[in-house]
Amino acid sequence: MEYILKNGIVYDPANEVNGEKMDICFKDGKIVEDVSADAEVLDVTDKIVMPAGVDPHAHVAGPKLVVGRLYRPEDERRGVAQKTKTTRAEAGFSIPSCPTTGYRYSRMGYGTVCEAAMPPLEAKHTHEEINTIPNIDINPLPLFGNNWFVMEYARENRIDDLAAFIAAMLRVSKGYGVKIVNPCGSEAWGWGMNVHGYDDKAPYFDVTSREVVRALAKANEKLGLPHSIHIHPNDLGHPGNVPTTIATLDSIKDIAKSTKPSASVRDQTIHCTHLQFHSYTGNSWKDAASGAEECADFINKNPYVTCDVGQVTFDETTTMTADAPMEYDLFKISGLKWANKDIECETAAGIIPCIYSPKTPVSTLQWAIGLELFLHIENPWQVCLTTDHPNAGPFIRYPKIISWLMSAPKRMEMIDNGEVHKWASKRTGLAGLEREYDFYEIATISRAAPARIHGFADRGALTPGYNADIAVYDINPNDFDPSRDPEGVEKAFSNAYYTIKDGQIVVKDGDIVSTKQSHTIWTNVIGYEEEEKQIIDSIMPFFTQYYSVKWENYQVHDHYVPNPTVVDVEAK
């Protein structure tokens, strides 16, 4: 099928197209230069056209989602919708069902989502869930930062072995890249402890977080993976964590980016996720304040670093993270029902509801810090739109966040009319920030930058040959002032006029009109086969002794990934 999207106002930052009136053609699922006279015309006169959204960090599939859904029926009852001819029934607010997740991203014009924390031991189940999420492609990141083998290689500085291990684990788990969560901290949790500083050691392992992160960064660059290391640093959510955050980012300054073509799309060597949760000054919540400016300054000076924000949205949500000791800290503060899930020799996870209220001083501080990060980071290619779904709020709030970024008067009104607690102005500099994002910058932080940061060479831009993943929003930017109409922005970005996925129209006028099976994107390292075999042989006695499953059952077999997009990496 051939189509032409006619007369839209196009924002395509990767191709430096900033609000130009032009036609976009696509054929057989790909963007093309031209189509024949028989092409179907989709009239989008004076509407915004962008590449489909790319979410660089969310939790949408896997065992901790299942625990969340099971133990919070009160969440499942929010957001219920009857089935239609094309959709199954919808349920859930912060932890929607798998099909619901696909529909809701699709309605916002999104096409790709990174599942940010896959325990290799539970990768099979993660893939089972991915297979039931329609309309969005998903690249899952396996967890490496607390794996026993990784900690050993890091302690002994065995970078070649670590590279072979990463290659093998991406294959075994059908994963996309290297995720690190609270390095050494989840291992310490196995002993009822945590690490806080970057130079603390994991108990009994004689290895520090710094050594683990540096080793993983070196191995990542040695292989030339499309994405950089993707880190949730130590000491999340604790006042006074700024020095740990900066030390983490600073520590890989000397590690050069790979020169392999597979690593050429991205610019960064480290991606720091949910930076908002890592930007607190003070000694306790009594005297906590914003460290956003300091963190943003560091990013402004260091182009090898990118981040996403983890913006608080003022919702009752369900937090879930491989940082299990931090979730226990939240349990001690709030007393809400808490679940813990340890994943042997690999990681641990905690789950607890969190109520972010605009009347609560701490929630308001977190909200303001997130917005300050967006507004202080000068280069929109270094910062991405996320809520760390569902941790700081559900992803369906992205349109609301976009409206906050585009309207300084809206932010001021919230601060001045008492809608939010006075800590927003007393403990942060938000009230003094007048910057407003334009549509080009919004397109950057919500699609172009996340795609580049993940190293995707087939999406995030309207380049001929790329996937025809396109979003159209019903706003005429030449006749609309987002600063004065934040509600209009939120409405348009919540309900895409069209969402097109691989050339298929999946949303029209905010409704799901068709569904399609998602792709699972994983990285196939080529050239390390011999080393991979050797490393697996070498760990096998240990694996057999300590893991509760056999190696044969550990692997994600091909039939678990029926619709893969395999990214080949020539690592040698």
Q: Which residues bind ligand MFN (CB under 6 A)?
A: 117, 232, 236-237, 274, 277, 285-286, 319, 321, 330, 333, 354, 361-362, 388, 391, 422-423
Is position 179 an interface residue for Zn ion (rule: CB under 5 A)? no
CA distance 429 to 403: 19
Q: Contact at 8 Å (CB) between 511 and 135?
A: no
CA distance 505 to 378: 35
Residue among 75 and 388 whose Cβ is closer to Zn ion: 388
β-pair partners for 430: none
CA distance 562 to 556: 11
Please provide residue 234's backbone torsions phi and psi, each rounded to the nearest 5 degrees.
-70, 160
CA distance 208 to 200: 5
Q: Which residues contact 223 (CB under 8 A, 6 or more apart)?
A: 163, 166, 167, 258, 525, 528, 569, 571
Among 200, 293, 388, 458, the residue binding Zn ion under the rule CB under 5 A is 388
Least gap, CB of 222 to ligand MFN (angstroms)? 26
Tokens 């692997």 found at: 555
Least gap, CB of 360 to ligand MFN (angstroms)? 7
- Please identify, among the stretches 81-89, 109-117, 403-411, 475-483, the one whose residues bind Zn ion according to the rule CB under 5 A: 109-117
Please provide residue 51's backbone torsions phi and psi, each rounded to the nearest 5 degrees.
-60, 155
Is position 174 an interface residue for Zn ion (rule: CB under 5 A)? no
Sign of CA dihedral 20, 26, 29, 32: negative
| Interacting partner of 362 out of ligand MFN, Zn ion, none (Cβ under 5 to 8 A depending on kind) | ligand MFN
| Interacting partner of 21 out of Zn ion, ligand MFN, none (Cβ under 5 to 8 A depending on kind) | none
301 burial (CB, 10 Å; 0-12 / 13-18 / 19+) is exposed
- Please identify, among the stretches 69-77, 244-252, 314-322, 407-415, the one whose residues bind Zn ion according to the rule CB under 5 A: 314-322
Residue among 113 and 462 whose Cβ is closer to ligand MFN: 113
Q: Contact at 8 Å (CB) between 105 and 136?
A: yes
Among 222, 232, 238, 397, the residue binding Zn ion under the rule CB under 5 A is 232
Q: Which residues contact 297 (CB under 8 A, 6 or more apart)?
A: 376
| Interacting partner of 355 out of ligand MFN, Zn ion, none (Cβ under 5 to 8 A depending on kind) | none
Is position 327 an interface residue for Zn ion (rule: CB under 5 A)? no
| Interacting partner of 3 out of ligand MFN, Zn ion, none (Cβ under 5 to 8 A depending on kind) | none
Strands of the sheet containing 316-321, edge to edge, are 316-321, 347-355, 339-343
Residue among 390 and 503 whose Cβ is closer to ligand MFN: 390
| Interacting partner of 167 out of Zn ion, ligand MFN, none (Cβ under 5 to 8 A depending on kind) | none
Is position 389 an interface residue for Zn ion (rule: CB under 5 A)? no
Residue among 76 and 115 whose Cβ is closer to Zn ion: 115
Least gap, CB of 468 to Zn ion (angstroms)? 29
**H-type helices in 433-527, by residue range?**
439-443, 449-453, 486-494
Q: Which residue is nearest to Zn ion (CB)?
A: 232
Residue among 228 and 319 whose Cβ is closer to ligand MFN: 319
Least gap, CB of 280 to ligand MFN (angstroms)? 8
Q: Which residue is nearest to ligand MFN (CB)?
A: 237
Q: What does the binding site for Zn ion look like in residue numbers (CB under 5 A)?
A: 116, 232, 321, 388
